[in-house]
Amino acid sequence: MLLMNLKFDSDVLVVGAGPVGLTLAMDLARQGPQATSYSDIHCPTRHAQALSHSRIVMTLSTKRVLILGGTGFVGRHVCEKLHRIGCNITVITRRAKQASAIQSLPHVTVLEGDVYNPSFLTHQMAQHDVVINLIAILHGSEAAFEMAHVQLAQIIAKACNTSGVRRLIHISALGASLNGPSHYQRSKARGEEVLKQAGLELTVLQPSVIFGTEDKFLNLFAKLQQLTPAVPLAGASTRFQAVWVEDVASAVAHCVLHADTAGKTYELCGPEVFTLQQLVQKSGQWAGIRQGKGRWVFGIPRTLAWVQAFLMELAPGQPLMSRDNLDSMKVDNVASGQALGLQDLDIQAAAVSSIAPTYLGQQDPCTKLNALRAKGR
């Protein structure tokens, strides 16, 4: 459940006595606190009394949530979190077949459609309480960044105002700046400005690089080390404060439940700071490459890095790195220390060094073989 990792020193009242509420109450009871389930439809006197004596009150949401970008890496985790707290969720996607991972979740409706179509988006918003925008691109031309991060923000803002939806949760990026060195960072900042000027109840979340079981970050670097004896690396000295995808999803869920997060921006970062070189080295070690030693990872000069990024852009599929990524890495991607963060959302951030080994360790063929041998004993 959403609060499985929290510690309780008091009794808990769960508001909402449906299947989700009862399941949550049972899960909490296993952890120690006395959990009472409360329904706003039937409110016996003993439950009202429990409400007055409880120091923690949890309200299960029945909000209607529209998610843009709900079929991606982060979106799937957000859908799972919101499903667990009782939301009714609609996900818009261009291809319904991409939504197979979330279609089995109760109370999740998948619609095929074009979010860049203003009339379509306005019509779909009309029946919802909250809109969550997760749509973003990491690679592309300046025009592509402008369309995904700025023009779409304009369409969303107009659709919200036309449909009457006031609440918007927007996932931006750590380092978004109008004066940033990359098209990505500048377009992210312009998108934020568009939404901030729309008069909505807006919460902006700015995650650092996101890691997790299906990520295309640590997983790709670990797989690369299975194929090469050494890894020449652009931007090797840039520092990152990687954040777990589950913590990002929990942040979104918290904002859905708490209206007082409107009008605020949160930087979502993990507790550890590593250079890109350290993260790539550790991804190989955590994956068990060379008996846990990993490959030799070394930084390369910027001119050579530019050539490397250009060649990666020419390769089929999503590039591991682009020239715009290289520009982004001219500045560190760490918390400013002056903004709200996960701790202000009652979330204790998980460390990449604790989580990543649990899924990267399954990649190494020797690790898999040893696991099979152990299972057969």
Instruction: Note whether 81 and 198 are same-domain residues.
Output: yes
Q: 137 and 35 share a domain?
A: no
- Both 93 and 28 in one domain: the answer is no
76 and 43 inside one domain: no
Looking at the structure, do residues 190 and 145 belong to the same domain, yes or no?
Answer: yes
The per-residue pLDDT for 45 is 35
17 in the same domain as 129: no
- For residues 216 and 318, the answer to whether their CB atoms sit within 8 Å is yes
Do 30 and 130 fall within a single domain? no
Contact 179/274 with Cβ under 8 angstroms? no
Summarize the confidence of residues 104-131 as an average pLDDT: 94
pLDDT at 99: 86
* pLDDT(72) > 60: yes
Q: Could you tell me if 190 and 84 lie in one domain?
A: yes
Judge whether 222 lies within some domain: no
Q: What is the pLDDT of residue 16?
A: 54
126: in domain? yes
pLDDT in tens, 225-246: 999 999 999 999 999 999 999 9
The mean pLDDT of 67-90, rounded to a whole number, is 94
Same domain, 87 and 49: no
Pick the range with the lowest mean pLDDT from 60-74, 168-182, 185-199: 60-74
Q: What SS3 class is residue 62? A: coil
Predicted confidence (pLDDT) per residue in 138-150, tens digit:
998 999 999 999 9
Is 92 in the same domain as 176? yes
When pLDDT is cut at 50, 70 and 90, the band that residue 261 belongs to is: very high
Q: Is the pLDDT of residue 5 over 80?
A: no
Do 168 and 139 belong to one domain?
yes
Q: What CATH number does the domain containing 246 carry?
A: 3.40.50.720
Residue 218 pLDDT exceeds 90: yes
Domain count, the chain: 2
Q: How confident is the model at residue 361 (pLDDT cuts 50, 70, 90)?
A: confident
52 and 144 fall within a common domain:
no
DSSP assignments along 136-150, one per residue: --SS--HHHHIIIII
247/349 Cα distance (integer angstroms): 6
Q: Which structural domain, as residue segments, surrounds residue 81?
A: 64-212+241-271+338-351
CA-CA-CA-CA torsion for 303, 304, 305, 311, nearest 10 degrees?
A: 120
In a domain? residue 267: yes
User: What per-residue string of b and e applies to 342-374 under the rule 16 or more CB within 10 Å gives b?
Assistant: beebebebbebeebbbebbbebbeebeeeeeee
Distance separating alpha carbons of residues 194 and 201, to the nearest angstrom: 13
